[in-house]
Amino acid sequence: SAVISQKPSRDICQRGTSLTIQCQVDSQVTMMFWYRQQPGQSLTLIATANQGSEATYESGFVIDKFPISRPNLTFSTLTVSNMSPEDSSIYLCSTPEGDTQYFGPGTRLTVL
């Protein structure tokens, strides 16, 4: 099964700043996804990180707010830009392997 790591595991940030979250997979994968889990809520898909092309965003999420990079088949970053307290969430990356979706441990972001 795919092993996924994320950095940082948690952070506390000031409003108006930006944070970049890294996601590393231990093997080359075609698809990578970014999810957000707001406090006490379920997971919501932010975007699909496409290697070699622009990310595909879900309704309600825009590139200016959540720019994503996918420089190769094992790595992706998600930036949370111009943060506000409403961005306080757990951000998770994931990848499917066969018929299963594997998730990273998540990055817990608190915005003050």
Partner 1 sequence: AQSVTQPDIHITVSEGASLELRCNYSYGATPYLFWYVQSPGQGLQLLLKYFSGDTLVQGIKGFEAEFKRSQSSFNLRKPSVHWSDAAEYFCAVGAGGTASKLTFGTGTRLQVTL
Number of neighbouring beta carbons within 10 Å of residue 27:
12
Position 43 contacts partner 1 (CB under 8 A):
yes
- Which is nearer to partner 1, 27 or 101 (by Cβ)? 101
Sole binder of partner 1 in the list 42, 52, 64, 86 (CB under 8 A) = 42
Q: How many CA atoms lie within 13 A of 72 on its CB side?
A: 7
- Which is nearer to partner 1, 14 or 60 (by Cβ)? 60
* Euclidean distance between CA atoms 93 and 35, whole angstroms: 6
Position 73 contacts partner 1 (CB under 8 A):
no
* Euclidean distance between CA atoms 112 and 4, whole angstroms: 28
Number of neighbouring beta carbons within 10 Å of residue 89:
22
Closest approach, Cβ 4 to partner 1, in A, equals: 8
- Which is nearer to partner 1, 17 or 56 (by Cβ)? 56
Closest approach, Cβ 103 to partner 1, in A, equals: 4
Name the DSSP letter for residue 26: S
Contacting residues toward partner 1, per CB under 8 A: 31, 33, 41-45, 48, 92, 94, 96, 98-106
